[in-house]
Amino acid sequence: MRVLKIFLILFMLFFASNQCSFANDISVDYNNGIYHIVLKGEKIKKKIRFISSEDLITNNEAHKRAGARLTVNAGYFDPKNGKTISYVVTDRSTSADPLFNPALLGNNFFKRHSAQILNRSEFRVLQCGNKYKYDITSHNSGIPFECALVTSAQAGPLVYPALKMEEEAFIVKDDEGNVIRESASVLHKTSRTIIGIKGKDECHILIITDENPMDLYDVQKLCKELNLDRAMAFDGGSSTSMNYKKDIEVISIKGDGAGRMLKSFMVVY
């Protein structure tokens, strides 16, 4: 009987410890129209997965299908044909490839700037030995030696420490330095989904809502204030979406109230 009591006490302590760890690996704070989400620790890196839907679906639907704790919108897509404009890697295999988007391949702007567009920034989860790590880098950047790419989503542009709107073809300037083309409303204030890295074990997600719209210069300043090491944009504007458990749902009020139909998502189990 004494042995059984000791076993039960140890089991309860172990269970409580695990529950505490599980509860504290995601924190969600809200202030001044911005949700600041932090994924903490080593274990949660294994619970992150970028997915691409065959058909366009809402963030809420993706959240329910995945049975996720957290779901946010990820890469760019063509709303007319439902095809991706961003690379997505799911479970170590490419699940969304813009080179299979016929509308993109037939676009004159893409033809002129394909090298920049296909090499836009992406967020990666890598496995290096028995450790997992985050990275934000350009799509064509090599995988570090003894590491494997587990999952990733491309979008862009890189926001911090450098803002690479022109390098990633989000803005185009004429010979006199005037902006003649802008994509993804990078120069205008709108809602946004931003992902960043701080240290080795923190992933930061900023859901900048319609209540406090920002351009990317505002976002860069915010990332600096948060002491992030690197940060990039996911799709934003009316695509800005977040579901946390059954407690919080964020959609852009620019939509129809149900949330925009999207292509790719970051889910955290």
At residue 108, the pLDDT reads 96
pLDDT digits (tens, 9 = 90+) for 65-103: 999 999 999 999 999 999 999 999 999 999 999 999 999
How far apart, in whole angstroms, are the C-alpha atoms of residue 59 and residue 92? 22
In a domain, residue 15? The reply is no
Q: Is the pLDDT of residue 162 over 70?
A: yes
pLDDT digits (tens, 9 = 90+) for 57-73: 999 999 999 999 999 99
Q: Is the pLDDT of residue 254 over 80?
A: no
pLDDT digits (tens, 9 = 90+) for 8-66: 444 444 444 444 444 589 999 999 999 999 999 999 999 999 999 999 999 999 999 99
In a domain, residue 5? The reply is no
At residue 24, the pLDDT reads 85
**Burial state string for 245-265 with b = 16 or more CB within 10 A and e = fewer than 16:** eeeebbbbeebeeebbbbbbb
In a domain, residue 1? The reply is no
- Nearest 5°: the CA angle 135, 25, 252 is 75
According to DSSP, residue 144 is labeled P
In a domain, residue 235? The reply is yes
How crowded is the C-beta side of 46, counted as CA atoms within 13 Å?
A: 6
Provide, for the chain, the percentages of residues in helix, strand and coil under a 3-state DSSP scheme, each rounded to the nearest 5: 25, 40, 35
User: Beta strand 121-128 with 131-138: parallel, antiparallel or unpaired?
Assistant: antiparallel
At residue 257, the pLDDT reads 52
Q: Is the pLDDT of residue 174 over 80?
A: yes
Q: Give the structural domain span for 234.
A: 23-268
Are 141 and 122 spatial neighbours (Cβ–Cβ below 8 Å)?
A: no
At residue 259, the pLDDT reads 80
Q: What does the mean pLDDT of the chain come to?
A: 92
At residue 185, the pLDDT reads 96
Q: How many domains does the chain have?
A: 1
At a CB cut-off of 8 Å and minimum separation 6, what does 124 contact? 134, 135, 136, 137, 149, 151, 152
